[in-house]
């Protein structure tokens, strides 16, 4: 059984969540499972895209302008065609040969089973344990959102105080009504500029936090899906992961992924 101290916050909790995210989104990601074995095809794809761009530049510089738009349209048609031929079809063939999977839907199921096997190895072997893990993740997500609120409030208060001081100084020094009106307009324009700058700044600050939140949200959805599959296997004769368990047991690369170091 698992002993999680959900009430204890700190870097240990953050690191555990980060390690679990890294496992799911990196080791179980499409790049590690598929595309890292297709680097040659990716290089060919990007080379062809580069040649298309060079061709468009040559057409724009050396030929009549009437040929430029058709050249651009042809390039836009060729890029998805190259992607389909060099990447999509090769990836589909790769998972069929390497993992014995018929389509990408089965790849999703295999990824889910790999996550289940890894969690079982880390001590999450039952639906109750997975429920504890969900609370573990949700508590960290809630604390991260709470920590971001003071920063947002601080930036808003700073801009408000700055504009109040600046506006008061301007309007206090100006006696002419027209000049005072111009000063007020300038303050409004400055407020808009500062608002845009502040919004951009906060987006930069919160971008990593928002990305982590999206990852954790997706991870919780996968864990809930695993719980549902476990419930089905408990109450019926159908075992959703039985076929995937057999395929993974016959693949050394996938067994190494499951044997990865625990995130706790």
Query: Using the 8-state DSSP alphabet, how is residue 37 labeled?
Result: G
Higher pLDDT, 158 or 73: 73
Does residue 201 fall inside a structural domain? yes
- Whether 253 maps to a domain, the answer reads no
Could you count the other beta carbons within 10 Å of the beta carbon of residue 231? 11
Task: Please check whether residue 109 lies inside any domain of the structure.
Answer: no
Q: Is residue 255 part of a domain?
A: no
In a domain, 35, yes or no: no
| Number of structural domains in the chain | 1
Is residue 111 in some structural domain? no
Average pLDDT value for residue range 49-69: 83
Interval 120-162: pLDDT, tens: 998 898 999 999 889 888 877 766 666 555 555 556 566 666 6
Positive or negative, the CA dihedral 119, 124, 125, 127 is: negative
Taking only the tens place, the pLDDT of each residue in 100-114 is 999 999 999 999 999
Closest CA to 126 of 15, 223, 19, 56: 223
User: Which residues have C-beta within 8 Å of that of residue 231, sequence separation ≥ 6?
Assistant: 127
CA–CA separation, 120 and 30 (whole Å): 22
The pTM for the full model equals 0.74
Residues of the domain holding 168: 1-27+124-237
Nearest to 141 by CA among 206, 210, 201: 210
Q: Is residue 187 part of a domain?
A: yes
- For the chain, how far is it from start to end, CA to CA, in angstroms? 14
Q: Considering the domain boundaries, does residue 220 fall inside one?
A: yes
Closest to 228 (Cα-Cα) out of 163, 134, 160, 165: 134
258 band by pLDDT with thresholds 50, 70 and 90:
very high
């Amino acid at each position: 059984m698992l002993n999680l101290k959900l009430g204890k916050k700190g870097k240990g909790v953050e690191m555990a969540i980060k390690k679990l995210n890294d496992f799911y989104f990196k080791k179980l990601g499409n790049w590690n499972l598929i595309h890292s074995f297709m680097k040659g095809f990716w290089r060919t794809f990007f080379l062809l895209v580069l040649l298309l761009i060079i061709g468009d530049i040559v057409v724009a510089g050396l030929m009549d302008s009437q040929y430029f738009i058709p050249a651009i349209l042809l390039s836009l048609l060729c890029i998805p065609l190259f992607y389909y031929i060099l990447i999509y079809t090769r990836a589909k063939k790769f998972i069929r040969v390497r993992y014995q999977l018929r389509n990408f839907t089965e790849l999703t199921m295999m990824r889910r089973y790999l996550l289940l096997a890894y969690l079982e190895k880390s001590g999450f072997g039952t639906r109750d344990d997975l429920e504890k893990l969900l609370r573990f993740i949700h508590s960290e997500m809630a604390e991260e959102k709470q920590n971001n609120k003071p920063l947002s409030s601080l930036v808003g208060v700073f801009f408000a105080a700055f504009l109040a001081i600046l506006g008061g100084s301007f309007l206090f020094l100006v006696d002419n009504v027209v000049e005072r009106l111009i000063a007020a307009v300038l303050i409004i324009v400055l407020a808009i500029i500062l608002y845009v700058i502040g919004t951009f700044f906060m987006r930069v600050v919160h971008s990593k936090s928002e990305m982590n939140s999206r990852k954790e949200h997706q991870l919780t959805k996968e864990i809930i899906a695993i719980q549902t599959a476990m419930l089905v296997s408990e109450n019926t004769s159908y075992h959703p992961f039985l076929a995937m368990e057999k395929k993974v047991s016959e693949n050394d690369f996938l067994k190494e992924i499951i044997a990865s170091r625990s995130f706790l």
